[in-house]
Chains A and B, each alone.
Chain A
Amino acid sequence: MKFIKKHIPLLIVLVVGVLTLASYYVPNKYSVDYLELMNKWENIVSAFAFLLGLISLFYSHYNKIKRKTDGWGYSLFVYVGFLAMVVPALMNGGRQMVDGQVTSLGWSFRYIYNALSATMFAVLAFYIVSTAYRSFRIKSAQAFVLFVAAFILILGKVPLGQIIWDSVLGWTHTGIDQVIEWIMSVPAVAGKRGIMIGIAIGAVVTSLKIIFGIERQYMGRD
């Protein structure tokens, strides 16, 4: 049983991983055929991974309703929202437009999903402002450098800021857009590139560990 439960999955990850890796360095007819088959299969397998999120969301809210926990009534709206998308989709075969007319699916996207999803993230704008007011403290030389970079970017990205810069620092004959260009293409590149190289090394090591079965946390416990 251990063979079926553990060893075969580890063999799958090893074989698929090594073959995929090898196909990068040894391009020939066989490796292309292998990759083509994998690409098509991976596409389908990934499409089912979505069900994991769906089931766990439904399950947790189903439990809330069943146990009548605090605010269980709101959980009903999870299902209402779901049906508000799926029912119109079934009615229109997944089409948002038919003969130049917006279908009920297109309508649901525009006025329900779009409004909700966009607003959820728009709310963050308020928090970043109050955080900037309450927590942006210039207490060290490092924090000062961070502040200067942030200040120049916030100021220089809008025309009004550019006007202010020119009226105060116009005598330098350096536009704030040039300063931003320099920050983004010199010191910021150095900072990000250091992070990038560091992460790349980590990612390559982790990937190799996965292929060779050393890293297997994603498989869950026995």
Chain B
Amino acid sequence: MKEKLEKFFKIDRRWIFLLLAVVLFVPILKPLGLPNKTISRDTQNAFNYLDKLPAGSFVLFSLDYDPSTRPELQPQAIAAIRHAFKKNLRVAVVTYIAGSTGLIQQIFEKLPAEYGKVNGTDYAIFPYMANATAVMTQMASDFYGIYDKDQDGRDAKSLPVMKGVKTYKDMAMVVNITGTSMLDFWVAYVGDKYKVPVVGGVTAISQPGYGPYLQTGQLKGLIGGMKGAAEYESLVKEPGKGTSGIDALNLAHLLVLGLILTSNIILLVIRYL
């Protein structure tokens, strides 16, 4: 009996791989119909902060994630930008991760047209820049000192969307969605230093690490992982990949809990047998 159990314990792990693949793939083909229902406090705060801005306010989006974290962060970015467009806010996008330029392009391929937004008039996309802290510091005294042109090579200062914007003082808030430690930089080098409200969107992995900033108000809100994306999507009433993603994750989450419990129960039985 004991040996049998031990054998079960040393099962070829490829069986576990297969099990995970099945429980994650099947719900994609046949959704369970169990979408996210709860809204966490931090996502609600992020939403509220953006929601109460008057139309025409200038919001800087720093989108710093590459394909490796796309499934979690792209839906967050899309939901937040939809929100900004719905509220008729002015949107500018910057990035400090080279891999994100392609993903930013994909967001703005179709989204602006849905809301009748025009590149240069209602939103602007700026090129990738190296050394994030240097650029963040520069934007405190003169945005155009670094971003003299937008992504298409147009003179940045004369774009209608940039009218009256020169430093952080002219911006209503910064939204940083990132799979790196870029949000730490935004909080330390911009939020705290120049008193700019910062809202973050991060992967589930780094989400617990931002608890201290949320408690002190150094962060005004936080969207965390795919659940955060699903929450924001339901707040803006535009279900997307976050919503369908949560539905697909249901079974996989139970699988991992089942495996941890099984292995520990087997361990207990082996010990006391």
Contact = CB atoms under 8 A, between A and B. Distances in A.
Given A36-B138, A39-B138, A138 B66 contact: no
Interface string B238-273: 000000001101110111110110111001000000
B263 A134 contact: yes
A162 B38 contact: yes
Given A160-B254, A185-B215, A96 B264 contact: no
B212 A132 contact: no
A97 B104 CA distance: 12
Contact of A160 (B69, B208, B251): B251
A184 B103 CA distance: 30
Interface string B66-88: 11111100000000000000000
Contacts, number: 167
Given A96-B102, A185-B215, A50 B130 contact: yes
Contacts of B267: 137
Interface in B217-234: 225, 227
A160 B35 CA distance: 9
A128 B259 CA distance: 11
A114 B212 contact: no
A189 B142 contact: no
Interface string A97-128: 10000000010011001110110110001101
A222 interface: no
B146 interface: yes
Given A96-B105, A129-B16, A46 B131 contact: yes
Contact of B142 (A36, A45, A159, A192): A36
Interface string B81-99: 0000000000000000001
A195 to B, nearest CB: 9
Interface in A31-58: 32, 35-36, 38-40, 42-47, 49-50
A158 B250 contact: yes
B36 A184 contact: no
Nearest to B128: A47
B160 interface: no
B40 A181 contact: yes
A181 B224 CA distance: 12
Q: Which secondary structure dominates where chain A touches chain B?
A: helix
A47 B141 CA distance: 22
Contacts of A125: 20
Contact of B70 (A44, A118, A132, A137): A118
A46 B207 CA distance: 28
B144 to A, nearest CB: 11
A126 B215 contact: no
A159 B263 contact: no
A95 to B, nearest CB: 8
Contact of B131 (A42, A96, A136, A155): A42
Q: Which secondary structure dominates where chain B touches chain A?
A: helix
B253 A47 contact: no
B76 to A, nearest CB: 15
B114 to A, nearest CB: 15
A154 B134 contact: no
B7 interface: no
Contacts of A106: 102, 105
Q: Would you list the 10 A-B pairs with minimal beta carbon distance, nearest first? A: A46-B131, A109-B102, A39-B138, A42-B134, A189-B211, A46-B130, A160-B250, A133-B259, A117-B67, A177-B38
26 contacts: A24-B193, A35-B141, A36-B138, A36-B145, A42-B131, A43-B130, A46-B131, A47-B130, A49-B130, A96-B101, A106-B102, A117-B99, A120-B68, A128-B256, A129-B20, A130-B13, A133-B262, A159-B34, A159-B35, A159-B37, A159-B247, A160-B254, A177-B38, A184-B211, A192-B208, A192-B211
Interface of A: 24, 32, 35-36, 38-40, 42-47, 49-50, 96-97, 106, 109-110, 113-115, 117-118, 120-121, 125-126, 128-130, 132-134, 136-138, 147, 151, 154-155, 157-164, 175, 177, 180-181, 184-185, 188-189, 192-193, 196
Given A159-B246, A181-B40, A185-B215, 13 more contacts: A47-B130, A114-B67, A118-B70, A121-B69, A126-B20, A132-B256, A132-B259, A133-B262, A134-B263, A136-B263, A159-B35, A161-B250, A177-B40
